[in-house]
A and B are shown apart, each in its own frame.
Chain A
Amino acid sequence: MTNITDLGIAALRDGVAKGAFSATEVATAFNAAVEAAQPALNAFIVTTPEKALEAAARVDADRAAGKPLGKMAGVPIGMKDLFATRDVQTTAASKILEGFKPQYESTVSQKLWDAGAGMLGKLNLDQFAMGSSNETSAFGNVISPWRRPNDTTPLAPGGSSGGSSAAVAARIAPAATGTDTGGSIRQPAAFTGISGIKPTYGRCSRWGVVAFASSLDQAGAMAHDVTDCAIMLEAMAGFDPKDSTSLNMPVPDWAAALDADMKGKKVGIPREYRLDGMDPDVAKSWDDGIAWLKDAGAEIVEISLPHTKYALPTYYIIAPAEASSNLARYDGVRYGLRDLPEGAGLQDMYAATRAAGFGPEVKRRIMIGTYVLSAGFYDAYYTQAQKVRTLIARDFTKAFEQVDVILVPTAPSSAFALGEKSADPLEMYLNDVFSVPASLAGLPAMSVPAGLDRNGLPLGLQVIGKAFDEQGVLNASLALEQRAQFSAQNGSRPEKWW
């Protein structure tokens, strides 16, 4: 008998459609897995077993009535707690939104429910998606299901979608939504040995997603493998008139068109990503990836992305600047926390509310953003960063005249221990070095597991594609997945200790 919680999206959906098991059985199995893991992993901020069961009952009824079933029918998923969900607390992992129950549903979550998915709960994350280890959440750290051999040190699940990555890796959710501003889908996917795709900026509606940096924020899918990511992304993507940057173009049938044959395709290897002192295991996994794509028929081309080293500092001006503006809405008046000290006026209430409600990293980024946007410094910092961003995007445009996709590592290391980098904000920021450039250029990018490093921890490979070419990204990722044989490897999923 198959263990239901070992299955991914395609297997669950097809199993439900064929009648191998009911959607209610699936939801019940995952609800139990979530409940059992919650004390140890803390992947969820709230669990909603009743929502998973309600959706499952609808799918079972539709099937019994012979109605057509959606792309995600019978698949219960985890929803990152950055998506507004009607009547279910939505916090962005911040105290300032504790108790906030949206009166509306985000476009992306609504699309997933319309496709037949159900909600297991709202997943933990870095506060306002600001972080790379899930340590900035006001609702506690998420603990990675992965451990080093014979070592119980708690490891980071990556961030900001750390609840999402931990839940999928631990097989307590078959898939989860993520959002990616500078790597928040790809880096946690790499840290936990799962797959994750950030589509082209504008593919998924931002309506109802708690805003961090609006020119960068993009929702995406996190799941066991490339096929599952393709299916889920199809369900999430699509034009939304309520998002002014939504792309008005059809959503291709990515899953049906998956093709791992790379013959005639050119894969770019940017020399600037080969950093001095690169982790030897990361370098080796990159070389493995190059060999696998060559084996799939691709031609390997060395390329140059000359402004790569400026991507991180550019990001850490633009993202905080946009955050300082977006987060101005949290004022203690309309929703969320209010801290009104005795006798305080309106301005004091704002300042007290924001001091009490925001965590240290969020405050730090608001302060940086406020500074770089302030009179006298705007041009030196913000305008300069926006110009460098143009150059970074132009580097990619030029490279894509030569190649179809670009292959690089996802992150500079495997998962680090909780607390290892949290004392120094700059050191934490450097973990995004390989993921930020594609974000700044708005390009689709995906992380797939490449293998295990010397500590027995997963490493990810990242495929970056042309704007709108999610298919090219998914195809190259599939070619890597088939050759990495990660899911077939011994020890390629965390041993259950929770």
Chain B
Amino acid sequence: MSVDTATVAKIASLARIKVTEQDLAAMVPELNGILAWVEQLGEVDVTGVEPMTAVIPNHQRLRDDVVNADPLTGGDMRDAVLANAPAPEHGFFGVPKVIE
């Protein structure tokens, strides 16, 4: 499968990356080169093979269902959470207006 300019523009939009016409022109052959190369996986017989989900067998743990089980990742951390925000406002993350 190969991609054209319209498809690459669509992928960029899905990925939320702004691209110029010039970016697109450069990306189309690059992505096609990579996609043509990974295409060889199609020749592998995978009949009856399960897709890998965990590389090392492990099980999902559940933590105790209590408030602030780990203080570091628990609540009451508003200032720390906002410390690196580019535009914090009134104790919240500020964003451009989304509702007219």
Q: For A19, what are the chain B residues with a Cβ–Cβ distance below 8 Å?
A: none
Chain B contact patch, size range: 35 or more
B17 near A364 with CB under 8 A, answer no
A333 near B27 with CB under 8 A, answer no
Assuming the A-B contacts A333-B93, A345-B96, are A366 and B38 also in contact, with contact meaning beta carbons closer than 8 angstroms in the complex?
no
Q: For B27, what are the chain A residues with a Cβ–Cβ distance below 8 Å?
A: 364, 367
Assuming the A-B contacts A367-B8, A371-B31, A393-B55, are A317 and B41 also in contact, with contact meaning beta carbons closer than 8 angstroms in the complex?
yes
Partner of B84 from the list A100, A366, A374, A380 (CB cut-off 8 Å) is: A100
A368 near B46 with CB under 8 A, answer no
A215 at the interface (CB under 8 A from B): yes
Q: For B11, what are the chain A residues with a Cβ–Cβ distance below 8 Å?
A: 367, 370-371, 374
Question: Residue of A at shortest CB range from B69?
Answer: A241
Question: Residue of B at shortest CB range from A328?
Answer: B16
Assuming the A-B contacts A344-B96, A345-B96, A358-B17, are A247 and B56 also in contact, with contact meaning beta carbons closer than 8 angstroms in the complex?
yes
B84-100 CB contacts (< 8 Å) to partner A: 84-87, 93, 95-98
Q: For A313, what are the chain B residues with a Cβ–Cβ distance below 8 Å?
A: 37-41
A103 near B80 with CB under 8 A, answer yes
Question: Residue of B at shortest CB range from A369?
Answer: B15
A386-437 CB contacts (< 8 Å) to partner B: 386-391, 393, 425-426
Partner of A390 from the list B38, B51, B87, B95 (CB cut-off 8 Å) is: B51
* Bound Cα distance from A352 to B13, whole angstroms: 11
* Bound Cα distance from A197 to B17, whole angstroms: 35
Assuming the A-B contacts A370-B14, A370-B15, A426-B34, are A334 and B93 also in contact, with contact meaning beta carbons closer than 8 angstroms in the complex?
yes
Q: For A364, what are the chain B residues with a Cβ–Cβ distance below 8 Å?
A: 27, 30-31, 34
B33 near A426 with CB under 8 A, answer yes
Question: Residue of A at shortest CB range from B46?
Answer: A387
Distance from A357 Cβ to chain B, minimum over Cβ atoms (Å): 10
A241 near B3 with CB under 8 A, answer no
B63 near A354 with CB under 8 A, answer no
Partner of A314 from the list B17, B18, B41 (CB cut-off 8 Å) is: B41
A101 near B31 with CB under 8 A, answer no
A367 near B61 with CB under 8 A, answer no
* Bound Cα distance from A352 to B8, whole angstroms: 17
Q: For B84, what are the chain A residues with a Cβ–Cβ distance below 8 Å?
A: 99-103, 334-336
Question: Residue of B at shortest CB range from A389?
Answer: B52
B56 near A242 with CB under 8 A, answer no
Q: For B35, what are the chain A residues with a Cβ–Cβ distance below 8 Å?
A: 368, 371
A48 at the interface (CB under 8 A from B): no
B41 near A388 with CB under 8 A, answer yes
Distance from B35 Cβ to chain A, minimum over Cβ atoms (Å): 8
* Bound Cα distance from A381 to B97, whole angstroms: 38
Partner of A241 from the list B53, B70, B81 (CB cut-off 8 Å) is: B70
Partner of B49 from the list A248, A334, A370, A387 (CB cut-off 8 Å) is: A387
B15 near A324 with CB under 8 A, answer yes
A58 at the interface (CB under 8 A from B): no
B72 at the interface (CB under 8 A from A): yes
Question: Residue of A at shortest CB range from B20?
Answer: A355
B73 at the interface (CB under 8 A from A): yes
B56 near A103 with CB under 8 A, answer no
Assuming the A-B contacts A355-B17, A383-B51, are A244 and B60 also in contact, with contact meaning beta carbons closer than 8 angstroms in the complex?
yes
A260 at the interface (CB under 8 A from B): no
A101 near B83 with CB under 8 A, answer yes
* Bound Cα distance from A159 to B50, whole angstroms: 32
A215 near B55 with CB under 8 A, answer yes
Distance from A106 Cβ to chain B, minimum over Cβ atoms (Å): 12
A460 at the interface (CB under 8 A from B): no
Partner of A245 from the list B14, B58, B95 (CB cut-off 8 Å) is: B58
B44 at the interface (CB under 8 A from A): yes
Q: Give a binary string over A234-265; 1 marks a CB under 8 Å from any B CB, 0 the rest.
A: 00000001101101100000000000000000
A387 near B96 with CB under 8 A, answer no
Partner of B34 from the list A316, A324, A388 (CB cut-off 8 Å) is: A316
Top 10 nearest A-B pairs by Cβ distance?
A386-B51, A442-B55, A335-B84, A338-B86, A355-B18, A351-B18, A387-B46, A103-B80, A313-B38, A350-B16
New A-B contacts (8) at CB < 8 Å, excluding given A337-B86, A387-B49, A442-B56? A313-B38, A313-B39, A348-B18, A371-B11, A371-B35, A381-B38, A387-B50, A391-B46
Q: Can you report 9 A-B residue pairs in the complex whose CB atoms are below 8 A from each other?
A: A104-B72, A241-B63, A307-B44, A310-B40, A328-B16, A331-B16, A335-B84, A370-B14, A384-B41
